[in-house]
C-alpha cells in the first residue's frame, strides 16, 4: 500500500525521476515499466519520502536509481529478504521490490516464496525477459527449454518455471501478469497491486531487445496479440480473438476454447480473482503459443485474497506482550528473576 | 551422630547423566543456591551432539560443571572434586576429569548389566565392583529405588516418579555442602504451581536426598564453601547468551532505536533468539528467517529503515552471510553480527566450543571489506561487550562482528549488574533536512571528521537517496566507476574502521607488572583460564602478566607498546593460531602460539604449565 | 530408480544397516522410516554400492549413517543441490535424498524447487515433523500459525507452506504423502517412488516426540484416523470414515464430502494420479483437522507424470555434440581455430 | 605518391567507441592479424558496467587496448600510441592514456553537437576544433559518412550499413601498420557465410578504409612492427578465460575423469562457462545452477561421484560458496574453485579488475579450513595453472582455489601451445577393494605418507561408506566427538596442505640476480608490469630482481630464502595489501607494500617509478 502525501501537492511523473542517467539499452522494455510506474505513483500522489524501492542485481534492478524515493540496489536475489526486514521494522512505508526473472526465481527463489507465504504488504514487480540481461545473455529459469544462449549453445536443458503456478503454490495473495508493451494495462495492474493489502506479485513480460528480442512478440505484436492474449476483467467472461469472437468455458473440469457463435457469453468462464481454483486454471494456461490446442495467455489479476500480514501480526504480538506484561523496564530486565546481595 | 564440617576454598562438581536425567537443571539449581550463599561461581554445560542420543551410551551423556568458591574464580575449573554419575556411561565419559581422591556419587541403578553394556565396559564388568576406582571415594546411592520409595504413595506414574530422580541427588549434595533447600523449594513451587502433585513429589524427593545424608551413618563429613569476598552489591547469575540478549535490548533503548533481530536457528546461537523472543514487551522484533542470508539481509533492511538490525549465527551460518555483510560495509549502515563460535570447520563439532572464526570475521568477504571485530571474555562481559558493539555500529555507521563462543554462551557466573541509568546513551548520527542539505542537495556519503556518514532513513523529508553495493561516489553516493574514486573509497572505508581506535579504551594490563618475562595475551573465552594461571604464577613470584584483547579490529592503539615490554608474548587460543597471525602480520614481534583444538576450553593448569615451561 | 544387484543375492533389511549406533531419541518417528526403507530396498534387492543417500542437516539428515550404501551427510539445505551434481555426473546411481521440513523448505527451499523442475531421477524423502528437531525445537515452515515453540513463545507468525501445493507449483513429477505410523503404506509409497522415473517427492509425516509430540495424532491415532485420513488408491473412489461410509465427489468444481448412503460410489471422485487438476485439488485438501467443514487429509500418490530427466537430456546433448563434431581431440582443442608459425 | 614506412619496436593502439560500435571485435581482428605477423601481443578489453550504457556517454565507452611488438612484452602497455575515438565520449574517457605526440583517429560523425553534449564537453565545444589536442596528431575521418557512401548500392538498410563502420577504421589501421587484409577477409567470409550481402558489405568497407589510407594525400607515413624474436614454434592467440576452460578439459582427460562444471553466471567468470559449454563433444558437463551455493554443492556431489567437480565465480559468488567449500575441506575430495576476481567489496566494480580476494581465499570459511590457493599470472599461464590446480586437487584430495582476475581473464597474448601428449598424466588416488580393505573393513580416512586419503566412489563394491561435515574419526571416518581426535584432524588437514609444498616447484627468481637491493615479488596479474619494469631497471644497471608467486598456499618451501637475500622486498598488488599480510605474518621480514586500487592493472611505469624511488 502506498503512502500518500498529506499536504496536497500534485506530483507529476517527472517529479519522481532522479538526476541519474537512465542506463538501459535503447529500446529496452524496462523504460516503459519505469514510465508507467512513475505515472501511476504520481497519480496516486505518493509521499516520496515514505516510499522505498528495493532491488537485487540485474538490468531491471537498477530501477531504484531512477525513482526519487528512498531506495536500495542490494545484492543478487536478496531484495525480497531485505524488504522483509524493512517492512517488518517500518510497516508505515510503501515498499516496492524490483526484480528480474533470474534475481527472483533463480538465486532469489527461496526468499521469494517465503515472502509470499508471510504476506508482507509489499509489491513485487518481476521483470521477466526470460534471460539474464546484465550478465549478457544466459538462459534463466523462465527461458523455454531448448533456448540457445551463451551458456546453452545447444539449447537449455531446464524445464522452465511457470511463475504464476509457482507463486500460487507458495500461497501468494495477489498474482497478476502484465507486459511492457501495454502501458495502459500495466498502469491498471500497478494500481491494483498497490491497493492490495499483502504481497502483490506482478509478472511483467519485458522485452530484452539485445539478448532475447521478441520473446513475447506473439503477445505484444498487433497481428498476433488478439489470438494469443486474454485480458482478464473482474466479473467479465473470458473472451478473446481479433473479433472478440472466442471465449473460454469449463467443460467438466477442463477449460476449452469455444466460438461465441456457438456458445452464449453467460456460459463462459466468468473471471473472479477471488476464486483460487480459477486462479489455478489461469496459471495453467501456459501453453507454448501456436502449439496444438494452445490456450491464449492470460493477463490481468489472476488472484487476490485477504490474509493477515506478517508485519501487522508482529506488531499485534508486541502490543499483546505489552498489555500482558507491561512495557518493558530495563532495570527489571537486567536484574532478572532472582538476585542476591553481598 | 555428629558430622564433621570441613572448610573448602573452592569445589568443582560435575553433574553427569543421560540427556534425560535432568543434569542441566540439577546443576543450575545448585548454582543458584551457591550464588545465594555468596560464592563466586563459574559453570560449563556440555551437551551431547544428539538431541537424545541412545539412552545409556557415552554419546548420550550430558554434563554440567559447576565451580563455586570463597575466592575469585574465572573458569569452571580444572580438577573435578565431585562427580555425580547417574549411570555407567556418565562415569566412563568423565572419570578422567576427576582428581585423585575425588568423590564419585554413583547412582547404582545406572550400573546394571544393560547400562554397563551400553557404556561399553568390558564384559559388562561394573567399575563399582572392581578396583579401578580405588583412587577415589565412591558413594553409591540407589537413586532410582529411593526415589520410587519416597513416592510410593504419591499416586504418580513410574515415568513421572522417575523424573524426580535428580532431586534426590540434589538434596544429597545440598546436605553435603551444607546448604539449605529453601531456594530450590521456592523454585519448584513456582515451576509446578499448576501441578501440585508433581510439585510435592519433587520437594519430597529433594528432602529425602537431604535427609539421607543427614541420617545415614556412612556420611560423616560435610564441606563448607564460605562466601567469596566479592565486591559488595546486588548480584544475579547470568549466562552468556542471556547477557548478549538483554544487552542488545538495553543498547537499542539507549540509542532510542527499535531492535530488529533477524536470525536462523543454529547451535549455540539460538538461545539468544529464544531469550529475545521472550521480551516482546520491550518492543523487540525477532524474525526467524528462512536461512542465514535472509536473516542478515532482513537485518540490513531493518537498519536501512532506521532500526538497529542485528543478526546472529554460528560458524557455518556466518559463512553464508559473508556476501551480505559486504553489502553492509558498502552501505555504511549499522549492523551487528553475532557469531557464537563452535567447533569447525564445516559442521564440525556443533555442540563444542572453539575460537576458530576470527580469521573469517576479519576476511570472510570478497574485496576489501573491513569491519569492526570485538569479543566478550566471560558470560557477564557479554552484556557490556554487546552494548559496546552496538554503540560502535550505530555511532560509526559500520558493521560490527561480535565473536562469542559456546563456552561463554552457555557458561554462567555471578554478575553484579549495573543500573540501567548508568549505561551511556548511544547517539545515532541521524541526518535531518535542516542541517544536512547543502544548497538543497543531500550528500549521503559526506562524512564528519571520524569519516562517519549521516544516517538518513525513509520518512525523512527531502533526503531521499539511493544506496547499493556498487562503488559509490565519495560524496553523492551515486554509482561511480571512476578509478581514483574507487581507491579513495577503499581507503576511506579502511580508515574509518582504523579511526575507531580513537574511540575505544587503550589496551590495559589485566594483572601483573607492565613489563616482565612473559605477557599472556588472549581474546574471548580464554580469559578465565589465563587469569587464574597468571594469578597463581604472580603469587609464586614470577614476572608474568596478563592482557586480554577485546577489540580485535581495530586493535587498541597502544597494543604493541603493551606487548613490547615483555621478553615473550604467549597467545593461547582455542584454534590453530589466528590472533597470533594478525599480531605477527602487524607488529615486529614473534609471539608464541599456544593452541588447544579439542572443542574444550583451556584449563588454567594447561596455561600455567605452558608458562612454567617458557619460564624455565 | 533403484539399481538392483546383478548377482542374485537376497538382501535382508539387516544387510542394509551399518555398525553405527542409531542416535535418534527413543520413540522418534525416524526409526520407523528407516526400517521401512531398509525393508523396501532389501526387497527390491538393491545394489548397495550403486546406491547413494544424500542428506542435509537435521535429525532426519543423520539417516545416511544408518544405511550401508554410499552416503553424504552434507550441509544444511543443500542435499538437493549436491544430489543434482551427483546424478548429473553419475546417472547410473540410485540416489536418495533425506531431508527435514526445515532442511528442505526453509534453508533449502530454492534447491528443492529447482531440482523438481529439472526432474533429475532421484527420490526425496521429506521428514515433516513441523519443527526443527536438531536445534531443539523452533517452529519450521510447516508449523501451523500460532504454534508456540522456543523461538515463538507467543505463537509463530508465519503462514505455513502447503508442501504438496508448493512442489506441484514447482512442476514436480511425482508427489506423495505418507506417515511414520503406517509402515505398510509407507513401504508402498517408497516402492512407487523408487519406480518413478524422475524426481519423486514424498512428504512423510513424522512424529518428533520430544519437541512436537502428537502433531499428526489425528492422522495416526486409531480413534481419529478413519475420519481424518483418506487413502488414495489408483482407480478407486475417494472413500473414508470408520465405516467407509463417506466419500468425496465434485460438485461443480468443488470437492465435497458425501455420505455413501446418498451417493453411489460411481459418482465419487476416482483417484487418477495422472490427472494434474485432481492432484491440485488433493493438495488443497489441507484444512486444519476438526475445523468447520474440514476435508480429510489425503495420503498416497497425488500425482505422477512422465517428463524428460535432466541427466538424460544432458547425456543426449553430449552424444549429439559428439555425433556432430566428433569426439573431442585434445590437440585440436589446444590449437583452436587459427595459429601461426614463428 | 610515395609513402614512407617507419619501423617501430612496439605500438599500443586503443580502440574506443560506444558499446555498440564493435570495438572489441575490431581490436580482436587487428590482434589476430598482428599475431600472424609474428608480433608479441598483449591485450586488455575494458567494458562499461552497463550492457549498453546510454549512447554517446562516457559511461558507455567500450575500449580494447592492444600492445603488439617486435620484442617480448608482458603487458598491454602504458602509453597509448594510437587512440581510435569513434565519438567524443571515447576521446574524453581515454585521452589521458595517449602519449604526447600520439595519434588520434577521430570519427568526426561522433563529434556532433549531440555527442559533445552527451560526452559533457563544455558548451558543446568540439576538442577537434579548439587547441586542446595540439600535443597530438589528429586524423579526422568521417567514418559514418564514408561507410554509407561505400555501401550506397548495397541494398542494405541504414542500421545494417552503420554496423559496418568499424571495418572502415580497421581497414585504415591495417594500411597504417602495413598489414594485409587477408586474415580478416577470411574471418568475415566464415562469419557471414550465410549472409552474403552482409559479408560483401563488410569486406567492401574494410577495403575502403585501407584504400583511403593508400590513396589519400595527407597520410604519408606508415609504420611497421616487425615480428618478434619469439621462440620458434606454432602459436595461437589466447584469452585467459579461454585458457582456463580448455585447461580444465585437458586436465580432466589427463586424469581420465569426467569434467563437471557447476556454475552460476557472473562477470567476469561467465566466459569460462560459455567456452566449456561449446565443448560438449569432449564429454564436458556444464551445469548452470540456480545460484552459487547450488553450483559448488553440485560440483561436490559430482566429485563424490568420481568426476572432477569444478565451480567458478567471482568475488561475491565465492563469498556465498564459503560454507560448502568448508564441507569439501572436511570431505577431502577433489574440488577446483575458480575465482575470477573483480573490483570489490560487495558488487563493487563488476567489470573492473582487482586482486582483493586473496584473504577470502585463505580465510573465507568457518573454522580451521585450509585449502590450496594458486594463481595464474597471464592469459596463457591460465592453461598451465588450472591444470596444476586440478592435479593438486585430484592427487592430494583437497579443494584448490584458483585466483584469476578480470585483467587476465579478458586479456590475450600469443601462446606457443604445447602438444597434448606433453602434458603430464594426473593420477587419482582411487581406492579399490583389492588393496583398500583391511580385514574386510574399509577405512576411508586412512592416509598415505602425503596424508592423502583414498577416493572411493559409488559403484566400487564393498567400499560403501558415509562422509559428512561433522568431525570424523581419523581412520574410519565415522562421526567422532572425541576431543583428541578433533585436534588431530585439524592438524592433519593443515599438515596435508602444508606437505603439498613437497610436490610443487621451489620458488624461482624470474629475472635478475638472486641477491640485490630490491626484490619485486607479486602474484597473479601484476606479473607483466613487474616484468617490464624490472627488465628495464636491470638493463639500466640496477640490482633489482623479480620473483612471482604462483603457489599462495602453501608457499614454496624456499620462499623466505629467496626473499631474505634482498635489502628490500616490494610487493605490488591490486588491492589494499593482502599477500603482504600473509608474508609478514609468516616470515621475519617487513616487506614494502605497493598498492593500486583503481580497478585497473599496474602499468610498468608505475612499478618502475616506485622502484626508482626505493633505490634512491
Ligand atoms: C551473487 C551474485 N551472483 C551472480 C551475479 C551476476 N548476476 C548479476 S545479475 C544476474 C542475472 C540477471 O538476470 P535477471 O535477474 O533476469 O535480470 P535482467 O538483467 O534480465 O533484468 C546475474 C547472474 C551477481 N551479481 N551476484
Ligand atoms: C547453515 C546452517 N544453518 C543452521 C544450522 C542449524 N540447523 C541444523 S538442522 C536445522 C533444522 C532442522 O530441522 P529439520 O530440517 O526440520 O530437521 P529435523 O531435525 O526436524 O529432522 C537447523 C536450523 C546448520 N546446521 N547449518
Ligand atoms: S541487456 Fe536487455 S534487459 Fe538489459 S538493459 Fe539491455 S535490453 Fe534491457
Ligand atoms: S528431536 Fe525429535 S525428530 Fe529429533 S531425534 Fe528426537 S524425536 Fe526425533
Ligand atoms: Mg532477466
Ligand atoms: Mg523437522
Query: How long, in residues, is chain D?
Result: 616
Give pLDDT, residue C100. Answer: 98
Half-sphere CA count of D135, side-chain side, radius 13 A: 7
Per-residue pLDDT tens over the stretch B581-601: 999 999 988 899 999 999 999
Query: Do B522 and B491 touch, CB atoms closer than 8 A?
Result: no
Q: Does the residue C102 lie in any domain?
A: yes
Neighbours of chain C (3+ CB pairs under 8 A): A, B, D
Kindly state the average pLDDT of the residues A83-109.
98
The percent of residues in chain B predicted with pLDDT above 70, rounded, is 98
On whether ipTM exceeds 0.85, the answer is: yes
Using the predicted structure, report yes or no on whether residue B220 has a pLDDT greater than 80.
Answer: no
The β-bridge partners of B523 are B549
- Among residues A289, A270, A118, A303, the alpha carbon closest in space to that of A203 is found at A303
Q: Which atom of ligand 4 is nearest to the CA of C212?
A: 2
Nearest C-alpha of chain A: how many angstroms from B456? 9
Q: What number of H helices and E strands is found in chain D?
A: 21, 25
Distance from CA of A75 to the nearest CA of C (A): 17
**Which residues of chain D from 318 to 377 reach within 8 Å of chain C, CB to CB?**
323-324, 327, 331
pLDDT for B152 equals 85
Work out the average pLDDT over B324-328: 98
- Confidence band (pLDDT; 50, 70, 90) for D487? very high
Does B36 have pLDDT greater than 90?
Answer: no
Nearest CA to ligand 1 atom 3: D317
Question: Looking at the predicted structure, is the pLDDT value of residue D214 above 80?
Answer: no
Share of chain A above pLDDT 90, in %: 91
What is residue B50's predicted lDDT score, i.e. its pLDDT?
67
D335 phi and psi angles, rounded to 5 deg = -165, 125
Q: Are the C-beta atoms of residues D558 and D507 closer than 8 Å to each other?
A: yes
- Whether A95 is covered by a domain: the verdict is yes
Among B288, B312, B316, B342, most C C-beta atoms within 10 A, so best to mutate, is B288
| The pLDDT value given to residue D132 | 84
Compute the nearest-CA separation of A328 from chain B (Å): 4
Give the domain D4-225 fold: Pyruvate-ferredoxin Oxidoreductase; domain 3 (3.40.920)
Q: For residue D331, name the pLDDT band (cuts at 50, 70, 90).
A: very high
Specify the pLDDT at position D514: 95
**Nearest residue on chain C to B267, alpha-carbon basis:** C135
d(CA D267, ligand 1 centre) in Å: 9
Nearest to C107 among B57, B60, B291 (CB): B291
Give me the pLDDT at residue D218, please: 60
Quote the mean pLDDT of chain B. Answer: 93
Kindly report, residue by residue over B88-106, the tens digit of the pLDDT.
Answer: 999 999 999 998 888 899 9
Q: Which of B297, B247, B240, B290 is nearest to B269 (CA)?
A: B240
Residue D483's Cβ-side half-sphere holds a number of Cα atoms within 13 Å equal to 17
Q: Name the closest ligand to CA A32.
A: 3
Q: Averaged over B279-300, what is the pLDDT?
A: 98
pLDDT in tens, A285-325: 999 988 888 999 999 999 999 999 999 999 999 999 999 99
- pLDDT bin (cut points 50, 70, 90) of residue B51 is low
Instruction: Provide φ and ψ at B323, rounded to 5°.
Output: -60, -45
Cell numbers at D429, concatenated = 588416488
Strands of D147-265 (E only): list them.
221-225, 234-239, 259-263
For every residue of B62-127, DSSP letters joined together read EEEEEEEESS---SS-SSEEEEEESSHHHHHHHGGGEEEEEEEEEEGGGGSHHHHHHTT-GGG--T
Indicate the range of A81-85, B53-57, D269-273, D289-293 predicted with least confidence: B53-57
**Which numbered ligand comes closest to the C-alpha of C60?**
2
Instruction: Say if residue B46's pLDDT is above 70.
Output: yes
Please choose, from the candidates A33, A61, A58, A38, the residue with its C-alpha nearest in 3D space to the C-alpha of residue A48. Answer: A38
For the ranges B237-241, B393-397, D156-160, the lowest mean pLDDT is seen at D156-160
Ligand nearest to the CA of B51: 4
Is C326 contained in some domain? Answer: no
B504: nearest Cα among B393, B579, B601: B393
Q: In what order do the strands lie in the sheet with A297-304?
A: A229-231, A297-304, A174-179, A200-205, A123-128, A94-100, A51-55, A70-73, B466-468
Q: How far is CA D109 from the centre of its chain?
A: 34
If one counts the domains in chain A, the total is: 1
Q: What percent of chain B has pLDDT over 90?
A: 70
Higher per-residue pLDDT: D323 or B153: D323
Radius of gyration for the alpha carbons in chain A, expressed in angstroms and rounded = 22
* Interval A228-254: pLDDT, tens: 999 999 999 999 999 999 999 999 899
Tallying the residues shown for chain C, one arrives at 342
Find the CB nearest A158 among C118, C280, C284.
C118
D1 confidence band (pLDDT: 50, 70, 90)? very low
pLDDT of residue D357: 98
Distance from CA of A38 to the nearest CA of B (A): 16
Compare CB distances from D297 to C67, C81, C321 and report the shortest one's residue: C81
| pTM of the entire predicted model | 0.92
Q: Residue B368: is its pLDDT beyond 60?
A: yes
The answer to which of C288-292, D223-227, D279-283 has the lowest mean pLDDT is: D223-227
DSSP state of B448: -
Confidence of residue A7 (pLDDT cuts 50, 70, 90): low
Q: Does residue A341 fall inside a structural domain? A: no
Q: Is A324 left (phi over 0), alpha (psi -120 to 50) or beta?
A: alpha
Could you tell me the three cell numbers for C263? Answer: 451417493
For C191-220, letters b (16+ CB in 10 Å) and e give ebbbebbbbbbbbbbbbbbbbbeebbebbb
Residue among B187, B208, B212, B349 nearest B268 (CA): B349
Please tell me the distance between residue D489's alpha carbon and the centre of ligand 4 in angstroms. Answer: 29
User: Which DSSP category does B579 fall into?
Assistant: H
Domain D238-418: assigned CATH number: 3.40.50.970
Which cell goes with C200?
519423486
> Is residue A129 domain-resident?
yes
Q: Three cell numbers at D423?
A: 602434458
Q: What are phi and psi of B536, to 5 degrees?
A: -60, -45
pLDDT category, D56, cuts 50, 70, 90? Answer: confident
B558 Cβ contact partners less than 8 Å away, ≥ 6 residues apart: B506, B507
Rounded CA-CA distance C189/C40 in Å is 10
Instruction: Give the neighbours of chain A: at least 3 Cβ pairs within 8 Å.
Output: B, C, D
B99 has which bridge partners? none
Report how far apart, in Å, the C-alpha atoms of A207 and of each of A27, A103, A109, A186, B513 are: 9, 16, 22, 14, 73
- In this structure, the strands spanning D592-595 and D566-573 are parallel
Enumerate helices (H) and strands (E) in chain B, giving the number of each: 21, 25
pLDDT of res. C210: 87
Q: Which of C65, C134, C154, C158 would you mutate first to test chain B, the one with the most B CBs within 10 A?
A: C134
pLDDT for the residue C171: 98
What is the average per-residue pLDDT within D561-584? Answer: 97
Domain that holds residue C88: 13-215
Task: For the domain covering D509-615, report its CATH number.
Answer: 3.40.50.920
Tens-place pLDDT, residues C264-305: 999 999 999 999 999 999 999 999 988 888 999 999 999 999
Sequence ranges of chain B with CATH classification 3.40.50.970? 238-418
Residue A78 lies inside a defined structural domain of this protein: yes
**For position D95, what pLDDT does the model report?**
92
Please tell me the predicted confidence (pLDDT) of residue B1: 44
Angle between helices C109-118 and A109-118 (to 10 degrees): 110
Using the mean position of ligand 4's atoms as its centre, give its distance from the Cα of residue C205 in Å. 13
Per-residue pLDDT band for B52 (boundaries 50, 70, 90) equals low
Query: Is A84 contained in some domain?
Result: yes
- When pLDDT is cut at 50, 70 and 90, the band that residue A147 belongs to is very high
**CATH 3.40.50.920 domain range(s) in chain D:** 509-615
Q: Which pLDDT tens digit goes with each residue over B277-288? A: 999 999 999 999
Average pLDDT over residues B455-470: 97
User: Ligand 2: does its nearest atom lie under 6 Å from the Cβ of C172?
Assistant: no
Whether D269 and chain A come into contact, CB under 8 Å, resolves to no
Residue C8's pLDDT is 63
- The pLDDT-based confidence of C342 (bands split at 50, 70, 90) is confident
Distance, CA of D152 to CA of D173 (rounded, Å)? 23
C131 Cβ inside 6 Å of ligand 2: yes
For position A183, which CATH number holds? 3.40.50.970
pLDDT digits (tens, 9 = 90+) for C196-209: 999 999 999 999 99
Amino acid at each position: 500500500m502506498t503512502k500518500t502525501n498529506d499536504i496536497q501537492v500534485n506530483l507529476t511523473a517527472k517529479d519522481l525521476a532522479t538526476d541519474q542517467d537512465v542506463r538501459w539499452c535503447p529500446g529496452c522494455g524496462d523504460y516503459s515499466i519505469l514510465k508507467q510506474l512513475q505515472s501511476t505513483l504520481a497519480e496516486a500522489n505518493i509521499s516520496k519520502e515514505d516510499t522505498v524501492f528495493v532491488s537485487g542485481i540485474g538490468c531491471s534492478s537498477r530501477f531504484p536509481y531512477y525513482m526519487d524515493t528512498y531506495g536500495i540496489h542490494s545484492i543478487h536475489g536478496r531484495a525480497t529478504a531485505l524488504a522483509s526486514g524493512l517492512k517488518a521494522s517500518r510497516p508505515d512505508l510503501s515498499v516496492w521490490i524490483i526484480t528480474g526473472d533470474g534475481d527472483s526465481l533463480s538465486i532469489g527463489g527461496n526468499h521469494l516464496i517465503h515472502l509470499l507465504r508471510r504476506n508482507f504488504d509489499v509489491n513485487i514487480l518481476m521483470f521477466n525477459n526470460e534471460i539474464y540481461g546484465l550478465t549478457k545473455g544466459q538462459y534463466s529459469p523462465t527461458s523455454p527449454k531448448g533456448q540457445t544462449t551463451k551458456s546453452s549453445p545447444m539449447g537449455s536443458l531446464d524445464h522452465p518455471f511457470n511463475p504464476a503456478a509457482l507463486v500460487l503454490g507458495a500461497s501468494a495473495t495477489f498474482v497478476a501478469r502484465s507486459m511492457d508493451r501495454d502501458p495502459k494495462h500495466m498502469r491498471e495492474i500497478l494500481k491494483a497491486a498497490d491497493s492490495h493489502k499483502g504481497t502483490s506479485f506482478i509478472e511483467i513480460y519485458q522485452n530484452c531487445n539485445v539478448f532475447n528480442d521478441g520473446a513475447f512478440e506473439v503477445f505484444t505484436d498487433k497481428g498476433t496479440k488478439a489470438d494469443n492474449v486474454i485480458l482478464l476483467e473482474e466479473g467479465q467472461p473470458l473472451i478473446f480473438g481479433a473479433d472478440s469472437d472466442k471465449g473460454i468455458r469449463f467443460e467438466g473440469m477442463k477449460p476449452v476454447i469455444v466460438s461465441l457463435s456457438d456458445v452464449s457469453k453467460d456460459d463462459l468462464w466468468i473471471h473472479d480473482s477471488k476464486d483460487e481454483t480459477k486462479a489455478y486454471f489461469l496459471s495453467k494456461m501456459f501453453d507454448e503459443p501456436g502449439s496444438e490446442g494452445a490456450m491464449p495467455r492470460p493477463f490481468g489479476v489472476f488472484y487476490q485474497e485477504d490474509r493477515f500480514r506478517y508485519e501487522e501480526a508482529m506488531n499485534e504480538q508486541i502490543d499483546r506482550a505489552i498489555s500482558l506484561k507491561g512495557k518493558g523496564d530495563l532495570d527489571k530486565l537486567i536484574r532478572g528473576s532472582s538476585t542476591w546481595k553481598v | 551422630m555428629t558430622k564433621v564440617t570441613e572448610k573448602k576454598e573452592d569445589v568443582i562438581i560435575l553433574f553427569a547423566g543421560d540427556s534425560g536425567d535432568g543434569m542441566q537443571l540439577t546443576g543450575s539449581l545448585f548454582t543458584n543456591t551457591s550464588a545465594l550463599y555468596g560464592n563466586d561461581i563459574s559453570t560449563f554445560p556440555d551437551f551431547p551432539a544428539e538431541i537424545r542420543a541412545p539412552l545409556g551410551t557415552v554419546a548420550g551423556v550430558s554434563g554440567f560443571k559447576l565451580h563455586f568458591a570463597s575466592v575469585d574464580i574465572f573458569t569452571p575449573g580444572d580438577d573435578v572434586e565431585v562427580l555425580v554419575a547417574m549411570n555407567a556411561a556418565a562415569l566412563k565419559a568423565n572419570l578422567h576429569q576427576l582428581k585423585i581422591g575425588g568423590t564419585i556419587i554413583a547412582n547404582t541403578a545406572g550400573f546394571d548389566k544393560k547400562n554397563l553394556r551400553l557404556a561399553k565396559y568390558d564384559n559388562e564388568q561394573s567399575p563399582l565392583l572392581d578396583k579401578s576406582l580405588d583412587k577415589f571415594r565412591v558413594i553409591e546411592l540407589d537413586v532410582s529405588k529411593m526415589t520410587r520409595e519416597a513416592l510410593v504413595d504419591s499416586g504418580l506414574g513410574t515415568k513421572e516418579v522417575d523424573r524426580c530422580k535428580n532431586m534426590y541427588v540434589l538434596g544429597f549434595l545440598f546436605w553435603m555442602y551444607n546448604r539449605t533447600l529453601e531456594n530450590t523449594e521456592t523454585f519448584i513451587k513456582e515451576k509446578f504451581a499448576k501441578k501440585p502433585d508433581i510439585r510435592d513429589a519433587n520437594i519430597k524427593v529433594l528432602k529425602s536426598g537431604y535427609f539421607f545424608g543427614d541420617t545415614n551413618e556412612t556420611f560423616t563429613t560435610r564441606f563448607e564453601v564460605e562466601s567469596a569476598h566479592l565486591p559488595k552489591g546486588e548480584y544475579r547469575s547470568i549466562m552468556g547468551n542471556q547477557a548478549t540478549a538483554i544487552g542488545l535490548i538495553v543498547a537499542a533503548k539507549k540509542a532510542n532505536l527499535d531492535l530488529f533481530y533477524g536470525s536462523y536457528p543454529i547451535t549455540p546461537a539460538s538461545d539468544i533468539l529464544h531469550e529475545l523472543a521472550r521480551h516482546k514487551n520491550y518492543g523487540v522484533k525477532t524474525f526467524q528467517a528462512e536461512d542465514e542470508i535472509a536473516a542478515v539481509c532482513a537485518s540490513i533492511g531493518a537498519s536501512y529503515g532506521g532500526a538497529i538490525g542485528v543478526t546472529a549465527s554460528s560458524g557455518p551460518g556466518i559463512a553464508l552471510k559473508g556476501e551480505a555483510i559486504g553489502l553492509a560495509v558498502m552501505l555504511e549502515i549499522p549492523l551487528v553480527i553475532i557469531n557464537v563460535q563452535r567447533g569447525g570447520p564445516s559442521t564440525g563439532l556443533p555442540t563444542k566450543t572453539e575460537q576458530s572464526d576470527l580469521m573469517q570475521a576479519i576476511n570472510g568477504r570478497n574485496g576489501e571489506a573491513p569491519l569492526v571485530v570485538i569479543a566478550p571474555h566471560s558470560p557477564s562481559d557479554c552484556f557490556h561487550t554487546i552494548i559496546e558493539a552496538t554503540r560502535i555500529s550505530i555511532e560509526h555507521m559500520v558493521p560490527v562482528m561480535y565473536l562469542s563462543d559456546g563456552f561463554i554462551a552457555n557458561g554462567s557466573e555471578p554478575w553484579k549488574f549495573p543500573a540501567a541509568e548508568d549505561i551511556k546513551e548511544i547517539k545515532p548520527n541521524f541526518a535531518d533536512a535542516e542541517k544536512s542539505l547543502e544548497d538543497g542537495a543531500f550528500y549521503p556519503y559526506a562524512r564528519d571528521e571520524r569519516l562517519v556518514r549521516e544516517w538518513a532513513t525513509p520518512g525523512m523529508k527531502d533526503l531521499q537517496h539511493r544506496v547499493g553495493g556498487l562503488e559509490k561516489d565519495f560524496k553523492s553516493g551515486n554509482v561511480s566507476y571512476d578509478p581514483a574514486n574507487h581507491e579513495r573509497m577503499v581507503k576511506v572505508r579502511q580508515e574509518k574502521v582504523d579511526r575507531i581506535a580513537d574511540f575505544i579504551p587503550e589496551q590495559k594490563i589485566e594483572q601483573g607488572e607492565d613489563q616482565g618475562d612473559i605477557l599472556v595475551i588472549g581474546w574471548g573465552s580464554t580469559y578465565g583460564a589465563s587469569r587464574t594461571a597468571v594469578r597463581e604464577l604472580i603469587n609464586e613470584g614470577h614476572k608474568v602478566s596478563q592482557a586480554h584483547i577485546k577489540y580485535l579490529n581495530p586493535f587498541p592503539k597502544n597494543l604493541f607498546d603493551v606487548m613490547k615490554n615483555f621478553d615473550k608474548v604467549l597467545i593461547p587460543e582455542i584454534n590453530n593460531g589466528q590472533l597470533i597471525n594478525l599480531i605477527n602480520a602487524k607488529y615486529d614481534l614473534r609471539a608464541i602460539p599456544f593452541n588447544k583444538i579439542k572443542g574444550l576450553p583451556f584449563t588454567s593448569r594447561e596455561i600455567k604449565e605452558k608458562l612454567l615451561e617458557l619460564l624455565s
